[in-house]
Amino acid sequence: MASTKRIVLIVGGGIAAYKCLDLIRRLRERGYGVRAIMTRAAHEFVTPLSVGALTNERVFTELFDLDDEREIGHIRLARDADLIIVAPATADLIAKMATGQANDLATAVLLATDKPIVVAPAMNPRMWLHPATRRNVAQIVADGATLVGPGIGEMAERGEAGPGRLAETTELIAAIEQRLASAGDGSGTTHGKPLTGRHVLVTSGPTHEPVDPVRYIANRSSGKQGHEIAAAAQRLGARVTLITGPVAIEPPGGVRIVRVITADEMLNAVHAALPADIAVFAAAVADWRMAKLASGKIKKPSSGEPPTIKLAENQDILKSIGQLPLGRPQLVIGFAAETDNLLANAQKKLKSKGADWIVANDVSTVTGVMGGDTNTVHIVSGDGVSSWPRMSKAEVAEKLMHNAATAIAAGPNARQTAAE
Ligand SMILES: Cc1cc2nc3c(=O)[nH]c(=O)nc-3n(C[C@H](O)[C@H](O)[C@H](O)COP(=O)(O)O)c2cc1C
């Protein structure tokens, strides 16, 4: 039995509402007490009878219905909970949260609570990607909600695919437990965890660009530096999404892992993982892919002449986030792996990609950075360059995430100056 903590589950009116039944079962198996609040729309998708049977409590819906002596008002529902999870969170519920509405029981409880809130969106990909939803999601995250998911994949509607699937039950429970753990003994203390309530997105490792069904173009990135950054952010209390190319190292515990192969898949995974407070682009993303992928294995020509490979440019992931007009992370950190003119190239990259900091490292063969356990980095920001001594990649990660936490705590205007 994991806990006797009390969870209030708010079920929104989306097609994924039925999945709340599995969530309730799994939470109760782990010893949590669960109280469910259903929006009116949620009743169209799942019956209060099923929900109540699994919570073993009555289900709450109405804001103005205190005649019944079993009824509990919204203030008490908010106060009695250790954590509130909204699953599925509809676009509508997220919009109401973002604007502080309280015109039904679910939204009144969400506004009246000072407890941690975990929000698990589920909706059609076009609803999720709509600028209004992007704004609303960014707002509720800025207000302190922890976002979990949505996942990418097929929708219930035929022919629809993309970001918008409710996160898996195991992910929801992991997010609940992480948020409860970071709230400590219930006093809400986040001492030593300055990234609590923040979402940190990290890319790591190489990408592989297929040439034909058996060959690919790759690079020597091991993923060690990116994985250490993800681990450091998690230790500082952040919810972390680690988007990794093919690597031979173990992923850090307690972070959400998204595995990708190509640069294009990494680009899509990064955008689907937004919003984030901090984004760190440590992956060595291929600049080019095959202009035309061979459908069969390329054979040796009888002439003996080697075939010519034509490449096309991949979209720049760092730039696509650094220059995002809406929903840009508060702090965008890129990496510059260079063999020549390290600082000049890093400074150029800072400007052209819209990054706040560039972590410049010399990846010439003699440095042993690629695949090695140490790194010598220079942090290039609008303020100038701060050169750090040679350290382990774990130490670089720790210092970088501490500085990032300080920078975002100081607000958007301070982010350029905290890279010392
Ligand atoms: C068949 C059907 C499926 C729906 N699925 C979703 C969904 O998955 N996500 C969502 O945000 N809205 C969905 N909606 C729209 C919501 O039900 C609608 O916005 C409603 O007002 C939400 O109410 P609530 O946020 O109070 O639960 C769906 C509507 C219908 C008719």
* CA–CA dist 7, 2 (Å, integer): 13
pLDDT tens for each residue of 134-182: 889 888 877 888 888 888 777 667 777 778 899 899 889 988 988 887 6
Higher pLDDT, 126 or 1: 126
Going by alpha carbons, the residue nearest to atom 29 of ligand 1 is 14
267, 315 contact by CB (below 8 A):
yes
Higher pLDDT, 253 or 271: 271
Say whether pTM exceeds 0.85.
Answer: no
User: Is 14 close to ligand 1, i.e. is its CB under 6 Å away?
Assistant: yes
Buried-state track 159-182, b at ≥16 Cβ within 10 A, e below 16: eeebbbbbbbbeebbbbbbbbbeb
Instruction: Give ranges for CATH 3.40.50.10300 in the chain.
Output: 199-414
Higher pLDDT, 255 or 107: 107
User: Is 92 close to ligand 1, i.e. is its CB under 6 Å away?
Assistant: yes
Going by alpha carbons, the residue nearest to atom 7 of ligand 1 is 14
Average pLDDT over residues 84-103: 97
Q: How far is the CA of 328 from the centre of ligand 1 (A)?
A: 27
* CA–CA dist 387, 225 (Å, integer): 17
Confidence category of residue 129, pLDDT binned at 50, 70, 90: confident
pLDDT tens for each residue of 200-233: 999 999 999 999 999 999 998 999 999 999 999 9
At which residue do the structure tokens 């804001």 appear?
63
Helix, strand counts (H, E) of the chain: 13, 21
pLDDT at 32: 96
Higher pLDDT, 362 or 208: 208
199-414: CATH architecture = 3-Layer(aba) Sandwich (3.40)
Catalytic residue annotation: 219
Instruction: Give ranges for CATH 3.40.50.1950 in the chain.
Output: 6-182
Average pLDDT over residues 43-53: 96
Q: How far is the CA of 13 from the centre of ligand 1 (A)?
A: 5
Tokens of 295: 């459908």
Where are the extended beta strands (E) located within 286-363? 288-290, 311-313, 331-338, 357-362
Q: Give the closest residue to 284 by CA, choosing from 367, 370, 198.
A: 370
Fold observed for domain 6-182: Rossmann fold (3.40.50)
